[in-house]
Amino acid sequence: MSKQDGSSRQVTTGPVDDSATPILHVDMDAFFVSVELLSRPELRGKPVLVGGTAGRGVVAAASYEARRFGVNSAMPMSVALQRCPNAVVLRGDYRRYSEYSERVMTIFRELTPLVEPLSIDEAFLDVSGARRLHGSPAEIAWTLRRRVRDETGLTCSVGVAASKYVAKVASSRAKPDGMLVVPAVETTAFLHPLPVSALWGVGRVTEESLLKLGLRTVGDVAEMPEDALARAVGPALAARLTRLANGIDPRDVETRRVEKSIGHETTFHHDLVAHDEIARELLRLATDVGVRLRRAGMLARTVTLKLRYGDFTTVTRSRTLAEPTDVARRIYEEALVPLGDLVGDGRRVRLVGVRAEHLRHAGDGAPLWDPDEEWRDAERTIDEVVRRFGRGAVRPAALVRPAVESAAPTVRDGAEEEEPPPGPRSFW
């Protein structure tokens, strides 16, 4: 049994058929903000934002009170404060968020070993094999929510369904602090009244294309002949949307999730013009990407440079390497090659980013030759120094000078970059 309140929130309130719904999607409620409120209870019930506060800072998270004013994550902080001028803005503490994320994920894994983290604050769980120990899927979801609340002080929303897609939609409908079970036999009845934007892969542009065809709900998409849909959105997306609209999603919960790419980007407080200043920030980002690759035990075959100009025009350039790498020096040099053609002539750069793509595990076969062997050894030594003495203990010599001022710290997976301690040693 489920009920829907005056908003779009929908939760399960009584007995329900969960016999064929082994997939759970768990999503923490306003995670960054909720962690902050644990130590700032006086802010409960107030509009609270976490994110960069200067110039071009962005919102990393917003409390539900702030969301009522039309504020959401990734919104420029200046716009958010125009919509909600009374909001309390906090810089945030990514290390603390990571600690709470690990505590929450530990609870998940104590209920089932089949956990697929999607991000720092959400995961899929397959509880097929946990019934004998912990009960039915709905009972496990109740236990999970209670344990998260009792052991961390945080709340989460849980969707329970026969597939990953439907479970994720259900958790979003149950927010905040709710649980929604979608019985397998009621999958299409649950999905079809929802707007087309509820389908994975439907962003603003695709939504506009579907609306032009008169397709406003998921049910409309399900009834549309696939060949006709393909003419509007392409055959690959049409096939996927048709399957999802009919509740078909055969993907399993994957406990070993391989990242598709690793990257960092930063938005400048003032647009940059000088090649050297932009290249220096590129070096900083490449250094961070290299560190993350080595920590993850991954190698990248492709390096992509991203630039956004003052008029918001965005360009990317990719280079494929002869041998995959986890070396920051190589990543920087490859990203630097196209930079000269993209800057200069007075063009003002608002954002720069670098991304390592086409990843594979470092142990999956040794290269015939390794042009970066010496640099790799040096950077691994530096990794160990940083591990022992802290971030900022050593870094490229080019970065010892005062850093290019940014409106907000670099956001990495929702985290804000901290200022390194003074007096670092340098290399390069």
What CATH number is attached to the domain comprising 204? Answer: 1.10.150.20
Residues 302 and 198 grouped into a single domain = no
Query: In the predicted model, is pLDDT for residue 385 greater than 90?
Result: no
Kindly tell me if the per-residue pLDDT of 411 is higher than 50. no
Same domain, 272 and 414: yes
Q: Would you state the pLDDT for residue 220?
A: 97
Q: Which of 266-270, 338-342, 353-357, 419-423 has the lowest mean pLDDT?
A: 419-423
Tokens of 424: 């670092």
Give the mean pLDDT of 32-54. 92
For 195-222, the pLDDT digits (tens) are: 999 998 788 888 998 999 999 999 999 9
pLDDT band with cut points at 50, 70 and 90 for residue 404: very low
The predicted pLDDT at position 205 comes to 81
Say whether both 205 and 90 belong to one domain. Answer: no
Which residue range(s) make up the domain with 295?
Answer: 261-427
Q: Band the pLDDT of 323: cuts 50, 70, 90.
A: confident
pLDDT score, position 257: 62
- Are both 312 and 372 inside the same structural domain? yes
Segment among 290-294, 355-359, 424-428 with least mean pLDDT: 424-428
Using 50, 70 and 90 to split pLDDT, how confident is the model at 234? confident
Same-domain pairing of 20 and 68: yes
DSSP string, 72-124: -TTSBHHHHHHH-TT-EEE---HHHHHHHHHHHHHHHHHH-S-EEEEETTEEE
Asked if residue 175 and residue 220 are part of one domain, the reply reads: no
Sign of the torsion angle spanned by Cα atoms 77, 82, 42, 155: negative
What percentage of the chain reaches a pLDDT higher than 70? 82
- Residue 27, marked binder: yes
- Mean per-residue pLDDT for 262-267? 90
**Could you say which of 148, 168, 184 is where a domain stops?**
184
200 & 150 share domain? no
Instruction: Look at the chain and report how many structural domains it folds into.
Output: 3
DSSP bridge pairs for 179: 158
pLDDT value at residue 416: 33
Given a cut of 80, is residue 80 above it in pLDDT? yes
Position 409 scores a pLDDT of: 35
334 and 373 part of one domain: yes
- Distance, in Å, from the CA atom of 169 to the CA atom of 154, rounded to the nearest integer, reads 21
Confidence of residue 383 (pLDDT cuts 50, 70, 90): low
Q: Do 149 and 221 have their domain in common?
A: no
Q: pTM for the full model?
A: 0.67
Please compute the mean of the pLDDT values over residues 289-299 and round it to a whole number: 87
For residue 3, the model assigns a pLDDT of 55
Q: Is the pLDDT of residue 41 over 50?
A: yes
Tell me, what's the pLDDT at 364?
56
In a domain, 336, yes or no: yes
pLDDT of the residue at 129: 93
Residue 410 has pLDDT above 50, yes or no: no
Q: What is the mean pLDDT of the chain?
A: 85
Tell me: do 215 and 108 sit in the same domain. Answer: no
Copy the structure tokens of residue 73.
């994550």
Annotated catalytic residues are: 122
Question: Has residue 421 got a pLDDT over 60?
Answer: no
Helix (H, G, I), strand (E, B) or coil at 298: strand
* 292/392 same-domain check: yes
Using alpha carbons only, how large is the chain's radius of gyration in Å? 24
AA letter at 205: V
**What pLDDT does residue 363 have?**
61
Residue among 292, 266, 293, 261 nearest 280 (CA): 266
